[in-house]
Every structure is written in C-alpha cells, then in structure tokens.
Amino acid sequence: MANSIPADLDTLLQHTGIGEFDPVHGAAPVALPAVRTSTVRFQNLDALKRAQQAKAKGERSVTYGRVGMDTHAALEDVFCKLEGAERAFLASSGMAAITLAFFSTLNSRDHVLVADCCYGPVRYLDKVVLGRMDIEVSYCRATPAALKAQLRPNTRVLYVESPGSLLFEMLDIPALAAFAREHKLILAVDNTWGSGYIYRPLELGADISIVAGTKYVGGHSDLMLGAVMARDPALIQRINDTHYAMGYSISADDAWLAIRGVRTLPIRMRQTARNALEICDFFSSRPELVRLYHPALPSDPGHAIWQRDCTGSNGMLAVELKLGDAAAHRFVDALTLFGIGFSWGGFESLVQLVDHGALDVHGYWTPSENAIVRLHIGLESTQDLIADLSQALDQAAAA
Ligand SMILES: *Cc1c(COP(=O)(O)O)cnc(C)c1O
C-alpha cells in the first residue's frame, strides 16, 4: 500500500492546535479554547502596520476577525498536516470551499473540465452561477484520453473528485496531474472521501485539494465546514485574496468542534472502513446482490489504483441490488439503524436510495433497472447492522 502518509500523522493530529502555556503561570489547557472575535485590536499603530504589511504579502496575518484568530489558525494547521499543504483556507461548508476554488482560479470566458462523477451540486453551481459569469463547463469521463478531446484554447482548470460521488469511481490522479501539467491546467481535487487521512491528492500532483470538513473531519454530524488547500505560492496568493474579498468565514465554535473531531479521525476512519468491509461481505452472501462499489474490494475496477494511491478506505459503499423500484423503497423504509439522509462521515449509519437520473450523467455507470443504494457505515456493531439489513431485504422480498 502507498506510504505517502507520514507515520506520525496520528501523532500530529493529537498535538496540533493544543493550548499555549501562559507566560506568567506556566500552565496551559490541553484543548485550545474557541477564540471568538469580530474586532482585532492592536497595542499600537506600529503593530497594526506590521500586521497589514504581512497580510499584503499573503501571510496569515489577522487585522480583522473575518479570517479568525488562534482557533482558526490551529484548524488550518490541522488541514495542512492532513493534506501535506502549505496553506489552508476555511469556508462555511464543503460547497463554499468548492466555490472558493472555482472563483480563485477562473476568469470570465474561461473553460473548466469537470469529471462527470463529481458531487452533484457542482452541476447546480454551474447552472445557477458559473453560466451567468460566462464560465464554460464541460463534463467528461476523467481519463486523459477523454479529457483531451474536450480541451479548448481557454481551458484553465481540471476539476475532479476521486473516488467519484455515488459509485466511488477511482481516478488516476498522477495521470491526471501529468495531463494537467502538459496542458497548463490547474488540477483541483475534491478530497472529501479521503479527508487527507487516507488519500493525499497534493502529494499525487494535484494543485488544489478541497475537503468538506462536514464529513469525516467534523465526524459527528453537527457542523458545516469546508477547506481549500494548496502548496504553490502564486496559487496560495490568489486563493488568499479571493477568500478575503468574497468574505468566506466560519465561526470559532465550528473551528473548535472540527479540531475536537479530528482527534479521533484515525480511529473512526479505521473502524468505519473495517465495518464497511464486513457489510460488503454480508451483501456478497445475498441473492439480491448484483455488484458492490467500494474501491477497497479486490473486485472493484479501481482497486489497483486504490492500492497504489490510498493508505486506507472509509465507510462509504454503494450496492447494486436486483430489486424493482417498489421493493427498493420497501427495503430502505424497513431499515431501522440506517438514517435516510444525505451527507456522511459521522458516527452513524446512513442510507440513500440513489436516483437513476443522478447516475445517468456518470460515464462509469452501466444503465440498468437495478436499485443503487448508497450506504454510509457508521460505528455501530456490524452484527446489529447486518441483522437490520437482512430483515429489511427479507421484507423487501416478502411483499
Ligand atoms: C458533502 C460533500 C460536499 C459538500 O459539503 P457540504 O459541507 O455539505 O457543503 C462536497 N463534496 C463532497 C464529495 C461531499 O460529499
């Protein structure tokens, strides 16, 4: 398996953003408090001037509360450690982080290539906002050959998500990075699936990594958060300026919750990944099973890339079942331990009956009448989850 995560990442996640010692008392809290502020005040005009000069150079210097003080800085540090980035910029949701990446890199009349397996709301952003700004978008299978056919003289950005939404199509990020370099494109990757812990796109050649901290980083289904990470100084400056100009901001309390959540990211991720494999095993024994979508399974077409580029997997999987529409509805409604809901990455199991319309735009999908059910496997006992899935499948068949 790839060895791109430093062996000490588990350690770093426990020791980044802890409380500083008080210079008078020599004591410190382990947990950094949530430093809430709108106004930042300065000791004298000289101190203000130094802060303004540092800020003008693109350094993380605070003159006003919008970018946040110590708690925000600590969370940015956590994201940098996770992703192997130089700088991280926080946004109020994963979707806001995506818009930050787009607005930082695209000008009016530019063209962006978007992987057809992307998170669905990106298409909504395109429809509602990007079109109005004269930014052209093409959706495409994210392979160099397919992308090449869609290149235009004004193509600036290649935006992908790996593994892709809904069916977890693994993309070859190193190959896409080589393609992007050859054609002078900025490669931006939505890395919510990996959240820096099991997958590190910047180390595989991407220019920008985007994470919805709402998912595994927060980890408790109680906060909205996004982050944009980069290494290149010129790119960092553009994101920095756009971030400030557009007013992206998060509350200190949400930053604090995210830091608290990330302490247990390693054990949550390992457990949810283990649980998901057990659920896959269960489905393999069922007559309704047509196919499992989960890159950690040797049967998955993306398994070799996953083995090469990832250091683990997570609790997400999709299962294709030989169930008609009514039976699929009965199955989902009969589940008692799986919440019917969007999002994932929390402690609890979730189920989503995937709309075929959402799959038709994915080149990876082979159209069929089968039901596609996306599951997030949480931290419950797998014995209980399997009993629940089993009784629900029986109910689906019984009617
Ligand atoms: C949830 C999600 C987002 C958006 O995050 P929000 O915080 O819900 O806005 C973006 N990308 C992926 C892959 C996601 O799963």
| Residue 190 annotated as catalytic | yes
Q: Which atom of ligand 1 is nearest to the CA of 192?
A: 13
> How many A from CA of 139 to the centre of ligand 1?
19
CA distance 78 to 97: 16
CB 86 within 8 A of CB 77: no
Catalytic residue among 116, 126, 172, 190: 190
- Residue whose token pair is 């756009």: 242
Q: Which of 192, 216, 248 to mutate to test the pocket of ligand 1 (most atoms within 8 A of CB)?
A: 192
Query: CB of 315 within 8 A of CB of 294?
Result: no
Give burial (CB, 10 Å; 0-12/13-18/19+) of 71: buried
Distance 192 CA to ligand 1 centre (A): 7
**pLDDT beneath 70: ranges in the chain:** 1-7, 399
Atom of ligand 1 nearest to the CA of 225: 7
Buried residues in 27-48 as b, exposed as e (16+ CB within 10 A): eeeeebebbebeeeeeeeeeee
Handedness of CA 194, 197, 199, 204 (dihedral sign): positive
Domain 9-36+68-263 -> CATH class: alpha beta
Active-site pick, 36, 60, 66, 263: 66
**DSSP code for 218:** T
Is 215 among the residues known to form the active site? yes
| Tokens linked to 169 | 């199509």
Ordered by start, the domain boundaries in the chain are 9-36+68-263, 265-398
Of 70, 110, 116, 119, catalytic: 119
What is the Å distance from ligand 1's center to 345 Cα?
10
Question: How far apart are the CA of 10 and the centre of ligand 1, in A?
Answer: 24
What pLDDT score was predicted for residue 365? 96
Distance between CA atoms of 168 and 306, rounded to whole angstroms? Answer: 11
pLDDT number for residue 3 = 47
Q: Which two tokens stand for residue 75?
A: 């969370």
How far is ligand 1, taken at its centre, from the CA of residue 376, in Å? 14
- Our measurement of the distance from residue 179's CA atom to the centroid of its chain's CA atoms, rounded to an integer in Å, reads 22
CB count, 10 Å around CB of 57?
10
Phi first, then psi, for residue 376 (nearest 5°) are -110, 120
Distance CA 320, CA 369 (A): 10
**Closest atom of ligand 1 relative to the 165 alpha carbon:** 13
Active site residue 66: yes
Give the position, in ligand 1's atom list, of the atom nearest the Cα of 96.
9
The encoded tokens of residue 116 equal 């057809």
Is residue 88 a contact partner of residue 275, using CB atoms and an 8 Å limit? no
Q: In the prediction, which pLDDT does 1 show? A: 46
Q: How big is the CA angle at 268 (ends 7 and 276), to the nearest 5 degrees?
A: 105
* 229 DSSP β-pair partners: 88, 209
CATH of 265-398, one of 3.40.50.300, 3.30.70.20, 3.40.50.10320, 3.90.1150.10: 3.90.1150.10
240: DSSP letter: H
* Test site for ligand 1: of 215, 220, 374, 376, most ligand atoms within 8 A of the Cβ: 215
